[in-house]
């Protein structure tokens, strides 16, 4: 598997999982100031965090409300207990949410629950909070797109080259053309002046393209490029295809700016943020994925398949290149294992029916030994599919279910796959 595919898979699946968790956490509110949030940056030793939390537990003994005090102290000791599982701080640090959550049976019946998150990016802050809600904002920031994007701000006089990574941008280089303005000096023939100017511009554009290749392709391995600048120069430059094909084929957007050079790069960054260009870009990518999938479905190739069970089978046989799932998929995989004889089975059902289905499953005698003692597990379908893709070296992309393309996939059951090769044993 190439580095690139690992990266993109990591992106959308991690994003989906984190989003889902944050969505659940954001709905939780504490009875009092009793929900604990801990952000641990990569280099902070675990024992240091534990000793801080012990101090906090000591301070908490002053809380007047019996219920709140118990809740805070229980949450803290649960967090400490959990932290002891770590010998060292994980590479990206650690974020923990812990608190007494309502069981729906009234005050005093709350249950302490812990939600540890190994973040997708290094934790940047050190934070402890005990509040009536969980502090999720910092980890929300980690959901932002952080692929590296090239920025080129160009006119006939100057070219600014910069890169954008998430919120951070950097101007890398600035080239000047030395090309004369549009108006010739007296004594020169108009035609000769134009020709010389064209030659100089051509040379300048080649220089810009060479620099762009060195910086954007070789050094930064950017995912795409945004080209801006005043006037029509940028359009001419793109039309004449001076850029390396890896950039030329990945132009995300062109933008009008007042300046070229470094000032132009800054202007482009502002516009990218104002106009939501990066999320549009993500949608464009999703559109491409679904289009490719739909054209395989409609072609004779037999490489585009849908239907969960067929996809699972194809994954298990290593035939899948890419799985696409919409983020509103609500399927859960339930496995049941007989405690007596070990006979196990699996079932895929809609999230809303999990409770009823489970009741049914456990009241049904074991097919092998007629026993009635089961162990059951529940797993989100995306987690399961990710496991299967990891085992077989294929890719999985989670896309928005709200776009037109997402809805196309939704109508086919929210999950689709493109095969590497046609398989005979798949019945669809
Ligand atoms: Zn059994």
**Distances from the Cα of 217 to the Cαs of 110, 150, 170, 303, 331, in angstroms?**
55, 9, 16, 32, 40
Rounded to the nearest whole angstrom, what is the distance from the C-alpha of residue 373 to the centroid of ligand 1? 8
DSSP SS3 for 281: helix
Rounded to the nearest whole angstrom, what is the distance from the C-alpha of residue 139 to the centroid of ligand 1? 44
Rounded to the nearest whole angstrom, what is the distance from the C-alpha of residue 344 to the centroid of ligand 1? 8
Indicate if 299 and 271 belong to the same structural domain: no
For residue 1, the model assigns a pLDDT of 33
- Assigned domain for 191 exists: no
Indicate if 309 and 324 belong to the same structural domain: yes
Rounded to the nearest whole angstrom, what is the distance from the C-alpha of residue 362 to the centroid of ligand 1? 12
**Residue that terminates a domain, selected from 216, 245, 275:** 275
What is the number of structural domains in the chain? 3
DSSP SS3 for 352: helix
For residue 187, the model assigns a pLDDT of 66
Return the CATH number at 114: 3.30.960.10
Residue 207, Cα to own-chain centre: how many angstroms?
35
**Residue that terminates a domain, selected from 240, 275, 310:** 275
Q: Are 36 and 74 in contact, with CB atoms under 8 Å apart? A: no
The strand order across the sheet containing 111-117 reads 111-117, 94-101, 35-40, 127-131
For residue 185, the model assigns a pLDDT of 66
Largest CA distance in the chain: 104
Indicate if 354 and 332 belong to the same structural domain: yes
Return the CATH number at 405: 3.30.1330.30
Rounded to the nearest whole angstrom, what is the distance from the C-alpha of residue 333 to the centroid of ligand 1? 20
Indicate if 317 and 371 belong to the same structural domain: yes
For residue 165, the model assigns a pLDDT of 85
Rounded to the nearest whole angstrom, what is the distance from the C-alpha of residue 355 to the centroid of ligand 1? 22
Rounded to the nearest whole angstrom, what is the distance from the C-alpha of residue 343 to the centroid of ligand 1? 5
Indicate if 124 and 154 belong to the same structural domain: no
For residue 282, the model assigns a pLDDT of 81
- Assigned domain for 3 exists: no
Give pLDDT < 70 ranges for the chain: 1-10, 145, 183-187, 424-428
Domain that holds residue 268: 148-182+200-275
Note the helical H segments in 86-185.
137-141
**Residue that terminates a domain, selected from 227, 250, 275:** 275
């Amino acid at each position: 598997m190439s580095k690139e595919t690992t990266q993109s898979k990591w992106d959308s699946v991690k994003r989906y999982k984190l989003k889902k968790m944050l969505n659940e956490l954001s709905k939780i509110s504490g009875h009092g100031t009793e929900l604990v949030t801990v952000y641990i940056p990569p280099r902070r030793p675990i024992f240091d965090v534990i000793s801080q939390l012990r101090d906090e537990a000591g301070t908490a003994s002053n809380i007047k409300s019996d219920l709140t005090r118990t809740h805070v102290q229980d949450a803290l000791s649960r967090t400490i207990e959990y932290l002891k599982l770590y010998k060292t701080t994980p590479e990206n640090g650690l974020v923990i949410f812990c608190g007494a959550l309502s069981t729906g049976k009234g005050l005093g019946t709350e249950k302490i629950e812990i939600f540890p998150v190994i973040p997708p990016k290094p934790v940047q802050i050190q934070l402890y909070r005990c509040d009536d809600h969980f502090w999720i904002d910092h980890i929300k920031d980690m959901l932002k797109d952080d692929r590296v994007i090239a920025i080129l701000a160009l006119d006939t006089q100057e070219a600014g080259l910069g890169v954008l990574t998430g919120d951070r941008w950097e101007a890398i280089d600035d080239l000047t053309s030395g090309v004369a303005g549009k108006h010739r000096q007296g004594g020169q023939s108009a035609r000769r002046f134009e020709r010389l100017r064209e030659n100089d511009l051509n040379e300048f554009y080649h220089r810009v393209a060479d620099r762009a290749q060195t910086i954007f392709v070789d050094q930064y391995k950017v995912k795409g490029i945004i080209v801006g600048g005043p006037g029509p120069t940028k359009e001419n430059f793109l039309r004449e295809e001076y850029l390396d094909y890896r950039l030329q084929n990945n132009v995300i957007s062109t933008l009008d700016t007042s300046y070229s050079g470094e000032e132009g790069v800054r202007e482009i960054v502002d516009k990218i943020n104002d106009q939501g260009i990066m999320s549009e870009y993500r949608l464009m990518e999703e559109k491409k994925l679904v289009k490719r999938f739909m054209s395989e479905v409609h072609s004779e190739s037999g490489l585009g398949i849908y239907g969960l069970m067929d996809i699972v089978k194809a994954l298990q046989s290593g035939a899948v290149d890419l799985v696409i799932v919409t983020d509103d998929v609500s399927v859960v995989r339930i496995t049941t294992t007989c405690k007596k004889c070990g006979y196990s089975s699996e079932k895929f059902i809609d999230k809303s029916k999990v409770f009823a289905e489970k009741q049914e499953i456990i009241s049904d005698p074991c097919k092998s030994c007629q026993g009635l003692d089961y162990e059951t597990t529940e797993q989100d379908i995306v987690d399961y599919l990710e496991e299967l893709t990891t085992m077989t070296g294929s890719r999985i992309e989670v896309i928005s279910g709200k776009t037109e393309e997402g809805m196309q996939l939704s109508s086919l059951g929210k999950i689709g796959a493109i095969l590497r090769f046609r398989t005979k044993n798949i019945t669809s």
